[in-house]
Structure 1
């Protein structure tokens, strides 16, 4: 055997011993009675479920906005986009409703206009079979609590959407200034 073959054989033997070492105690020990002792009983408990998103609130009747008007002359909000002739009927109804609120000055909070707050709020809307809003919550906020609450108020004031409206849907509500 050459010196190189000897090194290879020694390395192979050492490798086998290192791999077998963790199993040696189990192989060498013999049970005293010939049987393995019974394993302890296994117990399992389910952890309580953690809520992954904020709780869904049932909507109270909409209240009038009691916010005070800003003293400074605020920038004017962008006019809502024209209602497209295409698309589902319920989408047109939502757009028309938001435009109506904007024309009445009930959509964009005056304080937010004065402070230049803009953003988009993603609202989860749940409807009953008659097209009435029975639940809503903010899925993604704008970063401004006033805008988030205004979006919830606007969506909760929807009434009698058409039958083609889905029972659950996400509605983006955008607040933009000129």
Structure 2
């Protein structure tokens, strides 16, 4: 006689989706350091890029998208590139790090 089958283990709980938080709810450990594209400077391109950044539990940008374009592809691309190098202090909730989604403005203004 065969042993009774064991019940299948319960599936792991689904991870929580990134919690939307305000820009002031997270802190940079290493802020993005965008380099103004030379051709953009020559052409007088400037503007504000607002990125949507999913910050993982280690404080790394996990996902980056352009939420509001500057109107110039070069500036938008440089903002995304610079944000990949940024590091954040992990967002804590109830003593545990939590993945969050945060807006991150990067302003390209000629001096």
Indicate whether the TM-score tops 0.5: yes
Structure with a larger share of its residues in strand? 2
The TM-score bracket by the shorter chain reads 0.5 to 0.7
Stretches of 4+ moved more than 6 A in 1? none
Which position in structure 1 is the counterpart of 2:96? Answer: none
Provide the TM-score with structure 1 as the length reference: 0.41
Please say which structure displays the higher CA radius of gyration: 1
Among 42, 49, 52, which residue is 1:114 paired with? 42
Q: Which runs of 5+ in 2 are unaligned?
A: 1-23, 93-98
2:71 matches 1:143: yes
> RMSD of the TM alignment (CA)?
2.1
Structure with a larger share of its residues in helix? 1
Q: How does 1:1-178 map to 2 (within 5 A)?
A: 90-91=27-28, 93=29, 97-98=31-32, 101=33, 107-159=35-87, 161-164=88-91, 167-178=100-111
Provide the TM-score with structure 2 as the length reference: 0.64
Q: How many pairs does the alignment contain?
A: 82
Q: Which runs of 5+ in 1 are unaligned?
A: 1-86
- CA, structure 1 residues 137+128, in 2 after alignment: closer, same or farther (shift >3 Å)? same
